Amino acid sequence: MAPLSNINILLSIFKRDITLAIRRSSDTFGAIFFFVLVVSLFPLALGSETKLLQQIAPGIIWVCALLAVMLSLSRLFNDDFQDGVLEQLALSMCPLEMITFAKVIAHWCYTGLILLLISPILALQFNLPAHSIQVLFIALLLGTPSLSFIGSIGAALTVGLKSSGALISLLILPLLIPVLILGTLAVDAATTGMHYSVYLYLMIAFAVLSSFFAPIACASALRIVLD
Amino acid sequence: MLSTLEISCQRGRQLLWNDVNLTVNLGQLLFVSGANGSGKSSLLRILAGLSFANSGNVLWCGEKIASNTTMYHSKLLYIGHQPPLKPELNAIENLIFLTQVHGQSVTQDQIVSALHSWELQGKSITLPTKHLSQGQKQRVALTQLSLLKKALWILDEPFNSLDSNGSNILSKLLEDHLEQNKLAVITSHLHETAAHIAPSLQHREIRIEF
C-alpha cells in the first residue's frame, strides 16, 4: 500500500464534496434557485424602465449572489461534524488548513461557479449592454471565491450550533462589504464607459488574501470545536 | 510507546480526573472503564490528540504528540462512538474516502474482501449507508481496522451495536493486532475486563478505572 501525497488526499476530499453536493442536489441547488428567482423578481416588479434597471442591475445581482452563498454555507463543515467525519479529517496526515482549503474550493465549484455561469442570462433581463455583462462575469469570477473563503470562517465558527444560518450572515456579511462595493463599482464603471480594471485588481488582491488567511482561521476554529 | 505524564481533564468547571500516568507498551491493550460521564471518551480523545489535556503531556515513543502530529497521525486510527460515514455514500465509497484521508490508497477489491470478512456483502455494501442498520454501519466503520495498517488503535465503545458474530470478528482482530506487537486503547461497557473480550488478552491488559 503506497502512502498518498497530500495532493492526492486533497483531491479525494474535493471529489467527495462534489459527489455529495450532486447527491443532495435539492439542498445544493436550492441556493442557486434562490439566486435565479430573486434576481428575476426585480425586473418584474420594477417594470420596463431601461435606465433604472441598468442602474440597479449590478447591485441586485451582487446582493443576491452574496445571500445565495450565505444560504449554502451552513452545511459546509456542519455535516462532517455531525457524522463524525470531521474528526477523521482532523486526524489525517494532511494539515487541516489544506483540507479546509480543498473543501472551500469544492464549495465554490457548486455555488459560486454556477452562480457565475448563469449570471449573464439573468443580466439580460436588466437590459445590460454586452460589455457590462462581460465585466459582471469577470467581477463575479474574481469575487465569488472571496465570498466562499471568508464565508467559510463563519461556517467554521458556527459548527455544531442549531440555527447557524442567521449567525453566519451576521458574522460574515459585514466582512464581505468590500467585495460587494468593488463588484458593483466595476460593472457601473463599465456601463458608464469608465476604467474598471482597478476594481478588478483590488478584487484579485482580496481573493488572494482571503484564500490564504481564511483556511488558517477555519482550521483553528474547527480545532476548538473538536476539543 | 504510548505514555501520559500527569494529564488532567476538566470539562467546564468540573474536574473529571487528574494526574493520570499511563504507559502502554508494544503488544499491550489499555482497557478504560468507568461510569457514564466519568471521562472515558475524553481520555481517548486526548490520547488521539483531538482534545487537549488541561495539564500534562501525551507522549508517543517519548516524544510529545503535539510536536509531530503528522507522524503520530500516520500511526493512529481513532474511531469514535459514532461511525464516521457519510449517509449519501455507500460502504465502498465511504471506505475509499476514509482510507485516502488516512493517506493510504486501497483498491476496491481489497475493500470488498475486507467487507466480506465483516460479513457484509450484496446490497449492504452498494446501498447508501443511510439505509444500513446501526450495527451494519459500525461494521463498515470497523472495516478500517483491517484495511489500514496502523500501529495504534483508539476505539471508543467499538462493541456497541455489534451482534455476537460482529463482536467475535472484532475480538479476533484485536488479538491479531496485539499479537503483532501493536497497541490498542478501548472502552467497552459490555465487558468488565479485556479478558471478557477474549481470554488471551488477559496478560496484555492494562486497566484504568475512573
- pLDDT mean values, one per 10 residues, chain A (227 residues): 82 95 90 94 88 91 94 91 93 93 96 94 91 94 96 93 86 93 93 91 95 96 92
Which residues of chain A neighbour B128 with C-beta distances below 8 Å?
Answer: 23
Interface test with A, best of B65, B100, B149 (most A CBs within 10 A): B100
CA distance B55 to B63: 16
Distance from CA of A136 to the nearest CA of B (A): 36
Which of B52, B57, B58, B56 lies closest to B11 in space, CA to CA?
B52
Distance from CA of B164 to the nearest CA of A (A): 25
Sign of the torsion formed by the C-alpha atoms of B128, B126, B137 and B48 = negative
Of A221-225, B68-72, B122-126, which has the strongest mean pLDDT?
A: A221-225
Which amino acid type is present at position A5?
S
CATH architecture for segment(s) B2-209: 3-Layer(aba) Sandwich (3.40)
Residue B71 is classified by DSSP as H
Which residues of chain B neighbour A89 with C-beta distances below 8 Å?
Answer: 101
**Structure confidence at residue B68 as a pLDDT band (50, 70, 90):** confident
Helix (H, G, I), strand (E, B) or coil at B184: strand
User: Does an H or E element contain B2, and which?
Assistant: strand B2-11
CA A52, A58, A61, A64: dihedral to nearest 10 degrees? -100
User: A172 near A214, Cβ under 8 Å?
Assistant: no
Which residues of chain B neighbour A23 with C-beta distances below 8 Å?
Answer: 88-89, 128
Asked if residue A150 belongs to a domain, the reply is: yes
Q: Which residue of B has its CA nearest to A81?
A: B84
Stretch 110-169 of chain A: residues touching chain B, C-beta under 8 Å: none
pLDDT at residue A2 in the model = 65
User: Does an H or E element contain B143, and which?
Assistant: helix B134-147
Q: What is the pTM of this model?
A: 0.92
Which residues of chain B neighbour A2 with C-beta distances below 8 Å?
Answer: 104-105
Q: Tell me the CA distances in angstroms from B3 to A13, B7, B65, B177, one per residue in order.
A: 32, 10, 10, 19
pLDDT at residue A212 in the model = 96
Domain count for chain A, please give it: 1
Q: Which residue of A has its CA nearest to B71?
A: A93
**Structure confidence at residue B83 as a pLDDT band (50, 70, 90):** very high
Asked if residue A1 belongs to a domain, the reply is: no
Interface test with A, best of B101, B144, B149, B152 (most A CBs within 10 A): B101
| Angle, in degrees to the nearest 10, between helices B108-117 and B134-147 | 120
> Cβ contact (<8 Å) for B149 and A1?
yes
pLDDT at residue B149 in the model = 86
Asked if residue A197 belongs to a domain, the reply is: yes
> Cβ contact (<8 Å) for A84 and B98?
no
| Domain interval for residue A195 | 6-226
Greatest Cα pair distance, chain A, in angstroms, is 66
pLDDT at residue B121 in the model = 85
Q: Domain coordinates of chain B in residue numbers? A: 2-209
User: In the structure grid, which three cell numbers stand for residue B171, read together?
Assistant: 475480538
What is the 3-state secondary structure of chain A? Answer: CCECCHHHHHHHHHHHHHHHHHHCHHHHHHHHHHHHHHHHHHHHHHCCCHHHHHHHHHHHHHHHHHHHHHHHHCHHHHHHHHCCHHHHHHCCCCCHHHHHHHHHHHHHHHCHHHHHHHHHHHHHCCCCCHHHHHHHHHHHHHHHHHHHHHHHHHHHHCCCCCCHHHHHHHHHHHHHHHHHHHHHHHHHHHHCCCCCHHHHHHHHHHHHHHHHHHHHHHHHHHHHHHC
Interface test with B, best of A17, A78, A91 (most B CBs within 10 A): A91
User: In the structure grid, which three cell numbers stand for residue A41, read together?
Assistant: 423578481
Which residues of chain A neighbour B73 with C-beta distances below 8 Å?
Answer: 91-93
Instruction: Give me the residue from A83, A87, A91 closest to B87, CB to CB.
Output: A83
Which residues of chain B neighbour A1 with C-beta distances below 8 Å?
Answer: 104-106, 149
Which residues of chain A neighbour B12 with C-beta distances below 8 Å?
Answer: none
Interface membership of A98 toward B (CB under 8 Å)? no
pLDDT at residue A1 in the model = 54
Asked if residue A63 belongs to a domain, the reply is: yes
Mean predicted confidence (pLDDT) in B76-81: 92
Cβ burial of A144 (10 Å; 0-12, 13-18, 19+) is buried
Interface membership of A106 toward B (CB under 8 Å)? no
